[in-house]
Amino acid sequence: EDKVVQSPLSLVVHEGDTVTLNCSYEVTNFRSLLWYKQEKKAPTFLFMLTSSGIEKKSGRLSSILDKKELFSILNITATQTGDSAVYLCAVGTSMNYGGSQGNLIFGKGTKLSVKP
Amino acid sequence: GAGVSQSPSNKVTEKGKDVELRCDPISGHTALYWYRQSLGQGLEFLIYFQGNSAPDKSGLPSDRFSAERTGGSVSTLTIQRTQQEDSAVYLCASSLWATNTEAFFGQGTRLTVV
């Protein structure tokens, strides 16, 4: 059964700290790994990763994928209270190689709380 | 449209009634997903549409749940004979093509069954 596991489940830090969120996966026919930030209802897209070792960066956030060890990390440097949210990792799969059928499987998320 | 649009944003219904939730994906997006999120829980996959292919219905929790996508665009999720455990936020997402392109979410429909 395909699965995505995120750790830690929750994390409390102070402003200015650097955090690393983890996402490991076991899926057949991997296609992509995506990170989202969810504050209220709708998850907002952060990054999509398809290749190992290539860092994606946006401001204080960065992410990298290791397809050999089957995990990804999301780093947030110099955290701010506005970074408080649930961070979701999702893995895109296909039912067969190159096929159009598949799924986006989500982990349970990491709840990040940044204290002033 | 500019983003994924869902309606209604909130729905309160009596136990046993049927409800319909609507999702308007981003124009040109061929892939459409429905998820359910109960309070404090992760996203539970319900159904996935990709172009004209048969949908992946493997996540629908019971035969009271069904979804269709007309003309490859708008999708409707129908829950028949609602029960209290159906209360959740129902999220729709669309992506340009399949699962190797970014998926963008709508604001969701908060369903409360009383």
Residue where the block lists tokens 């040109």 = B28
C-alpha distances in angstroms, B26 versus A41, A44, B23, B90? 18, 15, 10, 17
Q: In chain A, what residues touch B45 (CB-CB under 8 Å)?
A: 103-106
Q: In chain A, what residues touch B41 (CB-CB under 8 Å)?
A: 108
Q: Which of B50, B53, B103 sits opposite A34 (nearest CB)?
A: B103
Q: In tens digits, what is the pLDDT along chain B, a chain of 114 residues?
A: 589 999 999 999 999 999 999 999 999 999 999 999 998 888 999 999 988 888 888 899 999 999 999 887 999 999 999 999 999 999 999 998 877 788 999 999 999 999
CB crowding A5-27: b at 16 or more within 10 Å, else e: ebeeeebebeeeeebebebbbeb
> In Å, how far is A111's CA from the nearest CA of chain B?
10
Please judge whether B91 and A94 are an interchain contact, meaning their C-beta atoms are less than 8 angstroms apart.
Answer: no
Q: Residue B1: its pLDDT value, please?
A: 53
Question: Strand (E) positions, B2-53?
Answer: 5-7, 10-13, 19-24, 31-37, 44-50
Q: Residue A100: its pLDDT value, please?
A: 52
A101: nearest CA partner in chain B: B50
pLDDT-above-90 percentage for chain A: 78
The answer to whether A106 faces chain B, any CB pair under 8 Å, is: yes
The answer to whether A95 faces chain B, any CB pair under 8 Å, is: yes
Predicted confidence (pLDDT) at residue A22 exceeds the cutoff of 60: yes
> In Å, how far is A78's CA from the nearest CA of chain B?
27
